[in-house]
Structure 1
Amino acid sequence: MRFDVTLVTHQGLPQGSEDDLLLAEALRAQGCAVRCAVWNDAAVDWSASRLTLIRSTWDYHLMPAAWLAWLDQAAVQTRLVNPVTLMRWNTDKRYLGELAARGVRCLPTVFVEAQERPALQAIAAQQGWQELVLKPAVGAGASGARRLRLDQLAEAGEQHLSRLLSEGAALVQPYMAVVEEAEERCLVYIAGQYSHAFAKPSFSGGAAVYAAVRLHEASELEQAVAQQVLAAAPSVPLYARVDLIPDEQGPLLMELELIEPDMVLRLKPAAAERLAEACLGLLD
């Protein structure tokens, strides 16, 4: 069987997420043949789909080598969205350093390579940070992230950093106390245009967090910063989520999500229709 659009998901959710189902419904309303398929299911024929949209591949960070290999393989069988070059770039959070070099105000970050063994206490002292967050360079949500006080760095901190570095590069960032009072602001873009925004608790992840999200009226400044972020990316994505956190000097970029962001289409049904229309534009 041939499909116009395949929505790619993961083994824990083979039928697709709630948002996937809303998008599939919007696509079918436009006459598209749609299916959901698991990214690492060897039985899937990706060439049977004209357009393959990455949507809820929420376990890719657990097997990054297999993920990157699959991206390359799928890209020669179907039209992959977002583009494979953009997703490979976005898979590793060292992209934050590139965006910062291009003038984007990002959450301050020290990147530690796998072969390095810097002292966390020295990093904290040099940066003037009172609490740190350690996380893997390839990760999703709060996976692998740990918040640490200064008195925890010598033992628990170094142990956690060693675990992270045994699998790849790591990020060291300051813990932002503002997240205890202000939520992350997540701005959703479709075909380069602002669609909607929602707020969610920071430094956490999983279904419980996204069940508690609420729509957010993004300010003009937040939208301007998000546009700057997208302009600094290697190319314009079909879909994107720009996660910001408020700061005294303006919004800071926490993450640019170009692979499998939850866009909470369930809270903004018209966004599913806009994304479906954008997909149709790629099928013409």
Structure 2
Amino acid sequence: MDVAILTYSGMPQLDAYEAPLLPALAELGVDARPVIWDDPAVDFRDVRAAVVRTVWDSHLRRDTFVAWAEKVGRLTKLYNSSDVLRWNTHKLYLRELEEKGVPVTPTVWVERGGSIDLEALTRSRGWDTLVLKPAVSAGALKTYIIPRAEVSAARSLVAEVTASCELMVQPYLTAFETEGERSYIFFDGAFSHAVRRPPTLQSAPRGFAKPVVFTPDAGGELKLAEQVLEAIGRPLLYARVDVATDNAGVTRLQEVEVTEPSLFLSLDPEAPRRLARAIAAKL
């Protein structure tokens, strides 16, 4: 085959948002098929390129996944590259981007095996509600919303997360409940489309139920998303820059997804073709 579109065993045929990529590639004469990323029967020397897409179990075995990516990157063209995947699968990259001037959601980092006085933190920062999440995670796994009145009971959650990973502590952004997150999606460095998404954490209140595509202003948040890509400074076949409004009304980077994000291709009629053309250009 020409291109292996990488997914995981729980979704062997891609999801509805991503499935339009296959016929878009076929229109260009590219033989692309879903491939389970860790299938031992696959010989990546037999494909011209491999594109990481819905590998939605990779965060559960990050070390295994990164080692796999390094191996596959030596056998064929891998997108995004193994060094990008290693960098992006640990959220310490946010601290790096903040040091480069990107406005990131305020974060207190707790080292692996460490502890933190959450009551003192809420007092010193003035945060009414906290979000606790591991630095290696996806899909809101082990992400908790903790009101100030309950922080004393959250010590066990801190210990649970830091037993195996660094912990991120952030303020809960109330604008999530009405605005959600805005995702700016790029293919080969060029802006493709923007999507407004409800909170990933199912327990969070939400003002709308499903992701919707929207047309962004030329400046503002789109400019911030472009600043993020410039700060990353690496070639990326695809990127999704997620931003949100903080409690002071400032737009801040939440995450950069360059490993396995949903790109919501089915929400924009031309998005599958844009990505297909970007992939075909790599062959």
**How far apart are residue 71 of structure 1 and its match?**
1.2
Q: TM-score when scaled to structure 2? A: 0.93
Deviating 4+ runs (over 6 angstroms): none
TM-superposed deviation, 1:203: 4.3
Identify the match of residue 6 of structure 1 among 4, 7, 26.
Answer: 4
Hey, what does 2:77 align to over in structure 1?
79
Cα pair 2:18 2:263 within 8 Å, conserved? no
Q: Which residues of structure 2 form unaligned runs of 5+?
A: none
Q: Is the 8 A contact 2:18 2:264 kept in 1?
A: no
> Do the aligned partners of 2:94 and 2:104 also contact (CA within 8 Å) in 1?
yes
Q: How far apart, in 1, do the equivalents of 2:174 and 2:18 lie?
A: 34
Q: Tell me if the contact between 2:198 and 2:209 (Cα under 8 Å) persists in the aligned partners.
A: no
Aligned equivalents of 1:5, 1:19: Cα separation in 2: 19
- Which residue, 120, 145, 148 being the options, matches 2:146? 148
**SS of alignment partner, residue 270 of structure 2:** helix
Shift of 1:143: 1.2
Unmatched 5+ stretches in structure 1: none
* Partner SS for 2:228: helix
CA shift for structure 1 position 187 = 0.7
Q: CA deviation at 1:152?
A: 1.4
In structure 1, the partner of 2:273 is 273
- Counterpart of 1:187, as a letter, is Y
| SS of residue in 2 equivalent to 1:36 | strand
* 2:34 alignment counterpart: 36
State the alpha-carbon separation in 2 of the partners of residues 55 and 226 from structure 1: 21
RMSD, aligned α-carbons = 1.8
Corresponding residue SS for 1:235: coil
Greater share of residues in helix: 1
Instruction: Report the Cα distance in structure 1 between the residues aligned to 2:71 and 2:260, rounded to whole angstroms.
Output: 18
Structure-to-structure mapping, 1:100-139, within 5 angstroms: 100-139=98-137
Note closer, same or farther for the CA distance 1:230–1:8 as it changes in structure 2 (3 Å cut). same
Query: How many angstroms does 1:260 deviate by?
Result: 0.9
Please name the residue that 1:184 is paired with. Answer: 181
Residue 236 of structure 2 aligns to a residue whose secondary structure is coil
Partner Cα separation in structure 1 for residue 39 and residue 16 of structure 2: 21
* Partner amino acid, structure 2, of 1:169: E
The SS at the match of 1:111 is strand
Supply the distance in 2 between the matched residues of 1:211 and 1:259 (Cα, whole angstroms): 25
Q: Are residues 216 and 204 of structure 1, via their aligned partners in 2, closer, same or farther at CA, if it must alter by over 3 Å? A: farther
C-alpha offsets along residues 2-42 of structure 1, whole Å, 9 cap, x if unaligned?
x1111000111011222442111111111111111111211
Q: Is the contact between residue 7 and residue 36 of structure 2 (CA under 8 Å) also seen in structure 1?
A: yes
Q: CA deviation at 1:262?
A: 0.7
Q: Is the Cα–Cα contact under 8 Å of residues 230 and 236 in structure 1 kept in the other structure? A: no
What corresponds to 1:174 in structure 2?
A: 171
Kept in 2: contact 1:7–1:20 (CA 8 A) = no
Question: Would you say how many aligned residue pairs link Structure 1 and Structure 2?
Answer: 278
Q: Percent identity?
A: 35
Could you tell me how far 1:263 is from its partner in structure 2?
1.1
The residue that corresponds to 1:226 in the other structure is 225
